[in-house]
Amino acid sequence: MKLSIVIPVYFNGPNLHPLYEDIKEKLINVIDYEYEIIMVDDCSQDDSFAKMKELADKDQNVRIFRLSRNFGSHAAILCGLEKSRGDCVAVKAADLQEPTELILEMVERWKQGNNVVLAIREGRDEGKKKTFFADTYYWIVRKTALNNMPEHGFDVYLIDRKVVDVLTVLDEKNSILTGQILWSGFKTAHVGYYRQAREIGESKWTLKKKIRLVSDTMFSFSMFPIKLVEMIGFFSIVGAIIWTVIEVVAKLTGKITVIGWVTSFIFNLLSFGVIMMTLGILGEYLWRIFDSARGRPPYIIEDQVDRKNMEDLKKGG
């Protein structure tokens, strides 16, 4: 048996050595099977890749890759999954907020026949603002897109090789891997943990990225945006018909001598807003179709250190 651990890296230079030592102490020194650690640098502008090289020099089971530009965590994790060779693959963040020993429990649940093991947050030692956004996002996802999304979501998970093969074949852009895993429908188990506060470095999870996450989830896994436009259009038409009847009756009974321009202005403004929102939502779908049709790769590797793979190729040759 071989375990692969995929770690996306973005401005995590100060975390990497403590992260490796934590993995070594709580995982590598405990297990009796093969392992590999795959770190993918999403074009960080700090010393992350230099630190990754130091770890690769220390342990030949550490395989590192650097993307040519910032493609996003989805692409970085997908790169790690495609390069992995383990019978099962665990995806872990680099910020040391999730306990490493959690992977041991996930492996045991995988051995019991589960293809997917999700690490579910049962609580988090973080600010109320961040917690509120996360819980709101996962609530929206459950109600509109993926009803099997855990209440507090998940970022850490372990998947079987067959699930990895499915995710790499899907090759979906502007999507989220967590959503694809839930959508695939494989046999799934849950393990709980408490998310700790970040002690080293600062999160690069900006508001822009959070908005992008919401839009990618909605447009990739839900018909809700289209249905929302349909409902707004329907109620706008109903409202317009009712208002027209009221205006005509009032005019015929002499209650209105001159129809005010304010009514026309409000109606036109509302109609314009509905039309622009509709075009915007349709544009989101069209952009995703266009982006997929171009056939560009989800990521490009600029540099890598993969000594273990080179040794295996030499032995095979």
Model confidence over 207-224: pLDDT tens digits? 666 677 777 777 777 777
User: 207 and 238: one domain?
Assistant: no
Strands (E) in 218-270, as ranges, are: none
User: 213 and 234: one domain?
Assistant: no
Q: What is the pLDDT of residues 137-170, one digit of tens each?
A: 888 888 888 888 888 888 899 999 999 999 988 8
Q: Which domain holds residue 269?
A: 224-293
* Cβ(171)–Cβ(81) below 8 Å: no
CA distance 262 to 273: 16
The angle, 0 to 180 degrees and rounded to 10, between the axes of the packed helices 128-144 and 207-221 is 10
> Which residues fall within 8 angstroms of residue 307, CB to CB, at 6 or more apart?
56, 60, 63
Report pLDDT for 197.
67
* Cβ(67)–Cβ(299) below 8 Å: yes
User: 274 and 180: one domain?
Assistant: no
- Burial of 63 per CB tally in 10 Å (0-12, 13-18, 19+): buried
User: 76 and 134: one domain?
Assistant: yes
Number of domains in the chain: 2
User: 232 and 184: one domain?
Assistant: no
> Tokens at residue 211, please?
């908005």
Q: What is the pLDDT of residues 222-277, one digit of tens each?
A: 777 877 777 777 777 777 777 777 777 776 777 666 556 556 756 776 777 778 77
The mean pLDDT of 111-140, rounded to a whole number, is 82
Has residue 37 got a pLDDT over 80?
A: yes
Whether the model clears a pTM of 0.85, i.e. scores above it, the answer is no
* DSSP state letters, 4-52: EEEEEESS-HHHHHHHHHHHIIIIITT-SSEEEEEEEE---SSSHHHHH
User: 198 and 286: one domain?
Assistant: no
User: 210 and 283: one domain?
Assistant: no
